[in-house]
Amino acid sequence: MVQVDLITGFLGSGKTTFIKKYAKYLIDQGLHIAILENDFGAINVDMMVLEEELGDQCELEMVVGGGDLDCHRRRFKTKLISMGMRGFDRILVEPSGIYDVDEFFDVLHEEPLDKWYEIGNVIALVNSKLENNLSKQSDYLLGCQVADAGKIILSRSGEATEEEINNTITHLNNTMALIKCKRRFNKEDCLDLERLNNQDFDSILHSGYELEGFIKMFFKKEEAFSTMFFMNRSITKEKLTKATHSIFNDPLCGKVFRIKGFIPENDQWIELNATKDQITTETIAKGQEIIIVIGESLNKEKIEEYEQIASKIIKQNKFAVATMAGGQGTRLRTPTSKRYIQNRYRRKWKILIWNYSWYIRKSKQKVWCNYTLVHNDK
């Protein structure tokens, strides 16, 4: 039977970083493995990061979206069925950071998966600088992720103080109490992601999992957690980093846990990976022009103020003109259509945003407009 490992952890805990190291170890042992990205969101950017690790002994599969939890679960099961006859020695499953581990156990025990697969290990990643002020829903997910883990791995311990690490362990034990689980943790129970060696990976490979009892919390993840997507935004690495820092530090944006994605710059791709206390960018081979913001009670309008390039250009007085109105262009007081005017600007100036719909608040009315923002390169 094919062994299936679950690599779980809350948002920004370092799952993808660990998987790259773990996959390399397994490949070096001569195993033919697959990495299954099982993300409840609409788009998975971690898959592009992992593609750089692919070789003859490692394949990458993905399950995304699904509309609701039941649909996503069916897609997860269908994907595992399709992978069942492809000769893998082990499959690594990386779910979303808001994944309930019970789904993993339930699906693997359904027919016909229970005849092809067996659960290998449950490995939980935990940020050593774990934020203390989490909602009950977030604490529940954190708790169920570590409760059944055969091995817990602390990420970013090199950046954390001894006090921060001890506070993280205390937080984990508090979540165990919250969900009425009897399991408790010590620092000695955890491995350090930054210092993993072959002996550590061997212990991880044989760590298995626990079957702890705890009280389940029922809530709709799509209501408790929000995901925002910003696609095809023309922005530099410097401006993106500044906007990311501002979003994390502006409470009006909501409780932001994670911002990640890619932007093109100078004929190469830049990967953004950010939590509240760490923002990193690095050059990678492939990407998709998208930025993803994940959190609780997100304020879309406020976040868009930072993410919209138009707003920043206008504030910096670096824009030239915006044409507005609609229909046949009669409100422009010109016999020609607005498309004619837009095309004239396109020949001379760089188009930054094309026909983006927005509204302006004026008194108690909402006035809808179409505009084309252009920038004079000269």
The string over 151-171, giving b where at least 16 C-beta atoms fall within 10 Å of a residue's C-beta and e elsewhere, is bbbbbbbeebeeebbebbbeb
Cβ atoms of 270 and 283 within 8 Å: the answer is yes
DSSP 13-54: S-HHHHHHHHHHHHHHTT--EEEEEE-SSS--SHHHHHGGG-
**Residues 49, 338: Cα–Cα separation, whole Å:** 42
Residues 6 or more apart in contact with residue 237 via CB below 8 angstroms: 263, 265, 270, 281
Share of the chain above pLDDT 70, in %: 75
DSSP H helical ranges for the chain: 15-28, 46-50, 69-83, 101-108, 113-116, 136-147, 162-178, 198-205, 221-224, 237-249, 300-307, 309-315, 338-348
**The pair of three-digit structure tokens given for residue 90, joined into one six-digit string:** 């082990």
pLDDT band at 184 (very low <50, low <70, confident <90, very high): very high
What are the pLDDT digits (tens) for 10-51?
A: 988 999 899 999 999 999 999 999 999 877 554 555 666 666
pLDDT of residue 338: 47
| pLDDT(353) > 60 | no
**Residues 40, 97: Cα–Cα separation, whole Å:** 9
Tell whether omega for the bond before 112 is within 30 degrees of 0, i.e. cis.
yes
Cβ atoms of 8 and 125 within 8 Å: the answer is yes
Mean pLDDT calculated for residue range 175-180:
95
Structural Rg of the chain based on CA atoms: 24
Looking from the CA of 87 toward its CB, the CA atoms found within 13 Å total 4
Q: Give the global pTM.
A: 0.75
| Angle, CA 305 vertex, CA 300 and CA 310 arms, to 5° | 125
pLDDT band at 232 (very low <50, low <70, confident <90, very high): confident
**Residues 293, 47: Cα–Cα separation, whole Å:** 17
pLDDT of residue 224: 81
What are the pLDDT digits (tens) for 312-328?
A: 544 455 544 444 444 44
Tallying the residues shown for the chain, one arrives at: 378
Domains of the chain: residue spans and CATH: 2-221 (3.40.50.300), 225-307 (3.30.1220.10), 314-378 (no CATH)
SS3 311: helix
Looking from the CA of 206 toward its CB, the CA atoms found within 13 Å total 5
Cβ atoms of 14 and 127 within 8 Å: the answer is yes
Q: Which residues partner with 279 through β-bridges?
A: 274
Q: What are phi and psi of 234, to 5 degrees?
A: -80, 100
| pLDDT(280) > 70 | yes
